[in-house]
Every structure is written in structure tokens, then in C-alpha cells.
């Protein structure tokens, strides 16, 4: 039975017991729908100035959970492809994913990952553990290895609130490499072209026990430093009112900071930078 036979009724594959993985289901029955498995012809490599790429995203733990943020710029070579790209997305109620790399593939991967987690919960009757979510995303990245080797890499950053973790360690951060390698990070991490500068800033600004406002300011300062040294990273655009996306995950779930709050913090940071362009100095 095909997908369109019998007046649109579902085929037998939908009623056959199998894996709780939606991506494995697609791979078995409609592999052409998996964009992460399409490889360019042999000898062909994507030109970096022809494909939009997202740049800097970061995450840090704080007193109530974990914060994840990203700038808004996408570039094609030396051109700005988009000024208001959204790189931070909820994966479910207690997990968020941000991305650097090839924008089109990354957005497809995020949507597929969201469906993957929902599908698992509907099939199994329980939500996947945070460690399981990280391993599942690593597997999806591994499926994209062929395209990554041809210049179409996607590098996500995963954060989640884990109620099973010890008190004070429930905000967790996971990074990946293009081959699907999985690494849990402590305290903070950043990915993308501006990540070395963002990590350098967070190394100075991070401390245990930050409240939400302090964590958001630290993230904005780190993104500002990344934009200051990396042309592919966009800082806050006051005139166009385009500001970084900042979201938090706590025991109450995922929350994107309201635009007025992000704008207020961004304007405060930019004003302080007028007097101290290199950013805040760490006091002993």
C-alpha cells in the first residue's frame, strides 16, 4: 500500500510495530524526505559564498537553570544574507537547541528533532531523558556527515533542564562535532565563527549563582565581543531594533525573554560600552 492509495488511508507501515524514532521510520519508508541524508554528487563541494550560514550561539548555566542565546546574522561569504535569523528554538518544554552552520539544513534538522521528541513521547508514553535527547540529536548530526564533508555542516548547541540532576546542576549544556560526537560542557559554551571570542568573554564574566538578569547580560556581552572581532556575527542593531534571542529553561519550562526585556538589556549594555568599549572588567 502506498501513501495515496485507498482514499488517503494510512499504509500498513503505520500499524507495524517498530522503532520509536521518527527519523528511523522515515529512513525506512520515505528516505527522500530526510534532507540530512542528501549528498551532493561526487566531486561537488558547496561554495561558502552561495549558502547562508548562521554564526554565533552560546549557553551558560545560572541559578535557576540554563540560558541559551544567539545573534541574528546569517552570512554568505562576505555578504550579510539575513539580519534577523532565529537560531534558538525550543525542542520541547524543557529542552532548547541553537545552531551554527548551514541555515537551510539546520532549520530542517531542528524541525525534525522537534518531531522526533514528540513522536517518542507519544509512542513510549513518557518523555525521553535529557541524555537520550542528546544522543538522539548526535545521531541526526551523524546522518549529515556526508554533506558536512562537502561544506554543508550543521553544529547545534543543546540545552535542557534535568530534574534528575543534583540541585544546582540541573541546567545542562551539550555540544557536538560534525561527526556526531557528543560532549557535555560545564558552566558555559559557544559555537560558530564568533565562538572563540564569546567563550573568552564568558570565561571572564561567568560565576556560579548568576541570576537571570546577570546571566542574560553576560550572554549579551559575550555576543557583543564576538561581533566586535568576527565580521560574521551581528551585534545588537539599535536602529532596526534587532536584538539577540535569549531564552531560558527552568523547572517551569522553556521561556524566550520578551523582546522589550532583551531590548532594555541590550541598550543598557551598549550605553556602558560607550565609556568602556572593551566591556566590563572583572574585579578580583
Q: Which residues of 206-232 are buried (b: 16+ CB within 10 A; e: fewer)?
A: beeebebeebbbbbbbbbbbbbbebeb
Which candidate, 277, 227, 200, places its Cα nearest to that of 71? 227
Which residues does the annotation mark as catalytic?
55
User: What is the rounded (10 degree) CA torsion for 258, 261, 266, 271?
Assistant: 160
What the block records as the C-alpha cell of 267 is: 541598550
- The count of residues in the chain is 284
Strand partners, 184: 174
Going by C-alpha positions, the residue among 180, 205, 212, 177 that lies closest to residue 191 is 177
Amino acid at each position: 500500500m502506498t501513501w495515496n492509495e485507498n482514499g488517503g488511508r494510512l499504509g500498513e507501515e503505520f500499524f507495524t510495530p517498530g522503532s520509536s524514532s521518527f527519523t528511523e521510520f522515515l529512513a525506512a519508508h520515505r528516505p527522500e524526505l530526510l534532507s540530512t541524508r542528501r549528498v551532493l554528487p561526487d566531486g561537488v563541494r558547496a561554495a561558502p559564498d552561495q549558502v547562508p550560514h548562521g554564526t554565533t550561539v552560546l549557553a551558560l548555566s545560572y541559578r535557576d537553570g540554563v540560558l541559551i542565546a544567539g545573534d541574528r546574522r546569517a552570512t554568505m561569504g562576505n555578504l550579510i544574507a539575513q539580519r534577523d535569523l532565529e537560531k534558538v528554538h525550543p525542542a520541547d518544554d524543557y529542552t532548547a537547541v541553537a545552531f551554527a552552520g548551514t541555515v537551510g539544513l539546520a532549520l530542517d534538522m531542528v524541525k525534525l528533532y522537534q518531531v522526533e521528541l514528540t513522536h517518542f513521547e507519544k509512542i513510549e508514553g513518557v518523555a525521553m531523558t535529557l541524555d537520550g535527547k542528546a544522543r538522539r540529536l548526535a545521531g541526526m548530526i551523524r546522518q549529515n556527515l556526508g554533506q558536512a564533508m562537502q561544506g554543508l555542516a550543521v553544529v547545534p548547541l543543546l540545552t535542557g533542564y534535568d530534574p534528575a540532576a543534583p540541585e544546582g546542576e540541573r541546567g545542562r549544556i551539550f555540544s557536538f562535532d560534525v561527526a556526531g560526537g557528543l560532549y557535555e560542557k560545564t558552566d558555559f559554551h559557544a559555537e560558530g565563527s564568533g565562538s572563540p571570542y564569546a567563550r573568552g568573554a564568558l570565561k571572564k564574566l561567568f560565576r556560579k549563582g548568576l541570576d537571570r538578569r546577570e546571566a542574560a547580560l553576560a550572554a549579551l556581552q559575550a555576543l557583543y565581543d564576538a561581533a566586535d572581532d568576527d565580521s560574521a556575527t551581528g551585534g545588537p542593531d539599535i536602529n532596526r531594533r534587532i536584538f539577540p534571542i535569549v531564552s531560558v529553561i527552568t523547572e517551569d519550562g522553556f521561556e524566550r525573554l520578551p523582546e522589550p526585556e532583551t531590548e532594555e538589556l541590550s541598550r543598557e549594555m551598549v550605553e556602558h560600552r560607550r565609556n568602556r568599549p572593551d566591556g566590563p572588567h572583572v574585579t578580583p
